[in-house]
């Protein structure tokens, strides 16, 4: 199973915005440079995030985008589910009419359980948690560097 590029880049976009939370609106071209993601692609990804009210925008010369909630109020699971089009791994999980074997398919249970396990875990990870991990990693790098000198 692979997550789409849309979900992976959308998570990076949201994390970047979380890292700059309360610093005012951020222009997408700044995020594109920091994350090494095409501006055009970020423009596509930000639309559903705005529609779902995770992100707000301000127009004008000092305009840009900002999180509409704090990083501790937004989970990675919410963002991934939004950008993947739902918290399911297979189409038949949501739409039984797409599969002729729906009523007798024993593997459907596996896909439902796998999706539940994955999204249950992703829902417990907030963007604030990821920022905390980055802080810990930075401190460990500093300590490692000090130890080697």
Q: Which pLDDT does position 148 carry in this prediction?
A: 56
Helices (H) and strands (E) in the chain, counts: 7, 2
Tens digit of each residue's pLDDT (9 = 90 or more) over 7-65: 999 999 999 999 999 999 999 999 999 999 999 999 999 999 999 999 999 998 889 99
DSSP E strands in the chain: the ranges are 55-58, 64-67
The CATH number linked to 117 is 1.10.10.10
Model confidence pLDDT, tens digit, residues 71-118: 999 999 999 999 998 877 776 666 666 777 766 777 778 888 888 999
Tell me how many degrees the CA angle 55-33-30 measures, rounded to the nearest 5: 45
Helix (H, G, I), strand (E, B) or coil at 49: helix
* Number of domain units in the chain: 1
> Can you give the residue range of the structural domain that contains 9?
5-148
The conformational region for residue 64 under phi > 0 = left, psi -120 to 50 = alpha, else beta, is: left
Q: How many Å is the maximal CA-CA distance in the chain?
A: 66
């Amino acid at each position: 199973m692979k997550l789409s590029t849309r979900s992976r880049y959308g998570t990076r976009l949201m994390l970047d915005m979380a890292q700059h939370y309360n610093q005012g609106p951020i222009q997408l071209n700044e995020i594109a440079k920091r994350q090494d993601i095409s501006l055009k692609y970020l423009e596509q990804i930000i639309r559903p995030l705005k529609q779902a009210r995770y992100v707000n925008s301000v127009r004008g010369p000092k305009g840009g985008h900002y999180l509409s909630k704090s990083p501790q109020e937004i989970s990675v699971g919410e963002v991934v589910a939004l950008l993947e089009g739902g918290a399911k791994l297979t189409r038949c999980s949501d739409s039984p009419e797409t599969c002729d074997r729906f009523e007798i398919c024993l593997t459907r249970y596996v896909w439902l359980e796998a999706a539940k396990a994955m999204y249950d875990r992703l829902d417990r990870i907030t963007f604030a948690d990821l920022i905390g991990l980055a802080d810990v990693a930075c401190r460990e790098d500093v300590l490692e560097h000090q130890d080697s000198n």
